[in-house]
Amino acid sequence: MTEVLRDNFETLFPKIEKDLKQAAVISIDTEFSGLLSSDDFKSSLFDSAQERYLKQRENISDVLLLQFGLTAFTFDRERNSYSSHSYSFYLFPRTFGSIDVRFKCQASSFEFLCHHKFDFNKFVYNGISFLNEEQDLKVQQELQEGHLFRSVERALSFEDEDSVQALCSQVAIWLAGGQPAEEATAKSMVLDVPKSSQTSQCIAYVVHHELRRRFISVWTIPENGNVRVLKVSATERAMLESSDTHEAELKTALLQSLRGFSRVFKLLVDMKKPIIAHNCTLDLMIMFKQFCRPLPSSYQSFKDSIHSLFPIVYDTKYMSSEFKRKVSKFDCWTSNTLEPLYKYFAMGKGFTMVPCSPIIDSHDYTLGCDPRFHDAAWDSYCAGVCFIRMAHFFSALDLGRLSLAKPFTSTELVALTDFLANHINIIRGNLTHFVLGGPDPPSHRPEVIVVKKRDGGRLDLVQLTERFSKHGSVDVKLTSEKIALVAASSKGMVMDICRDFYKDSDYIVVKYNKIHHNPVIRTASWCTLALSFALSGFFLYRAFSRAR
């Protein structure tokens, strides 16, 4: 696995771009600064896909993506094999001009990351910067309007500010003749800008403008990342100012350094390669707001926007649910979280289930190496391995029998599993998944249960939750002081609850019925019934009147 930090980002970027261009599929994973900003945003079995989106949109508004894992899988048709290159990007927002990102941290999330050996020093001290589209336009505008200089200087670290002052002092000494005779009489000198990848561009930009502002007898030009200072007359200075060809170059270099990881995100968007991830609803949402633009207020607009960015997305959590329907429960895993899923397909029955399954070689990990689950790069690799194994399984099924399996190219795997693409898993909701680029499926969750007290008294939410939770995973909510709804995660659980409470001395428990329990439909039904009686009476009256 290659760690990508602020100091080596520019050096590694060409290789990253090359690996992504050559990849057949690209798998991703992310780590966040928090998962739940308030208990109001907890997932509920009552949530529709739209309600869940709006909840999470508010929930993650101040959450930061700390680490981005990316694995590029390249296919070799001759060997029927995939080779992979994995990258781990630590990300940290840069203060620049009016851009000063605020984000929330959740103690439990940080404890979780600490347990899994997340390196917070790399995140804070050497994290790569990024800009979303709005921030990018704002920086460009501030640079164009020319009122950004002070803000740029304030944005530097104390160490970089010291570097700027030291470089300016060298020029002051040089102009005052305080250097050796040969250097003091020279017409120009070169200032070596400290090479710290992204911050070096910011230092260079500040030094150019600071020297031009402080010393009227000099002019500066960029030279291989450094600054060449020229002694000039007032006339020469005026001519150079009127025909400055280097300002655009300086601004471009500065913008590119500030964009940082957003340039990698843009590669993913522009290449339109199939994207693989595991249980990736939050990943997609946070990626969108952090590298693209604020999340739209409309759920449908969000789906359309993600689909336009990434036309083909595979969620291995959803794929594993479909996979499990096709095999015996004795041949499967106990949980479809990423760790047991990867072990099943990398070393368990899933590895040898289908003939001609492709070889998967990693340039970064070896079979049996020490796993690092919840490291974004490792998790992205695991998700990719799971996808390739499951895609081969479903492609073989398309032939009629697994025994008829043959080697499939990467293009064939994607084409034969297109019915699984863009189905994104929903945790604990009214739907099991939502669909990018298409309508969501109908809900197949079991009926909701209606609860009342036999004596017509008030209900206690805590007592109800404790009582019903004995049957498994449930959500309880009060619709009024005397009526509660209970949502269960399985039809079997609903049957157990109804059977257990059939003759309960305290509660009346029945399955939800729209006509009986929905106040709007019930009112409409009564109104319809009353109208029918009224019309019937009217026509009977008219008929009776005519008969007389």
pLDDT score at 164: 86
pLDDT score at 538: 60
Instruction: Read off the CATH number of the domain in which 327 is found.
Output: 3.30.420.10
Mean pLDDT by 10 residues, the chain (548 residues): 92 96 97 89 90 94 96 95 96 86 94 94 94 93 72 61 88 80 71 75 85 90 89 89 83 90 97 97 96 96 97 97 83 85 86 86 74 91 95 87 81 94 93 93 87 89 88 88 89 88 86 61 57 65 63
- Structurally, how many domains does the chain consist of? 4
Taking only the tens place, the pLDDT of each residue in 356-403 is 889 999 888 766 667 789 999 999 999 999 999 999 999 988 877 776
pLDDT score at 530: 62
From 435, 469, 497, give the residue that closes a domain. 435
DSSP codes of every residue in 227-265: EEEEE--HHHHHHHHHT--SHHHHHHHHHHHHHBTHHHH
By C-alpha distance, which of 46, 55, 39 is closest to 485? 46
For residues 330 and 471, give the distance between their C-alpha atoms in angstroms, rounded to a whole number.
Answer: 24
Same domain? For 178 and 100 the reply is no
From 380, 410, 435, give the residue that closes a domain. 435
Same domain? For 156 and 87 the reply is no
From 257, 286, 309, give the residue that closes a domain. 257
Instruction: Return the amino acid letter for 208.
Output: H
Which of helix, strand or coil describes residue 434?
Answer: strand
For residues 428 and 52, give the distance between their C-alpha atoms in angstroms, rounded to a whole number.
Answer: 10
For residues 28 and 343, give the distance between their C-alpha atoms in angstroms, rounded to a whole number.
Answer: 18
Q: Is 244 exposed, middle or buried (0-12, 13-18, 19+ CB in 10 A)?
A: middle
Taking only the tens place, the pLDDT of each residue in 501-548 is 888 888 888 887 754 555 554 555 556 656 666 666 666 666 666 665
Same domain? For 267 and 400 the reply is yes
Same domain? For 229 and 277 the reply is no
State the residue range of the domain holding 151.
Answer: 146-257
C-alpha distances in angstroms, 452 versus 464, 470, 478, 481, 518?
A: 10, 18, 10, 10, 15
Q: Would you say residue 441 lies in a domain?
A: no
Q: In terms of DSSP bridges, do strands 25-32 and 275-277 run parallel, antiparallel, or are they unpaired? A: parallel
- Assigned token pair, 26: 């690209």
pLDDT score at 145: 77
Same domain? For 507 and 524 the reply is no
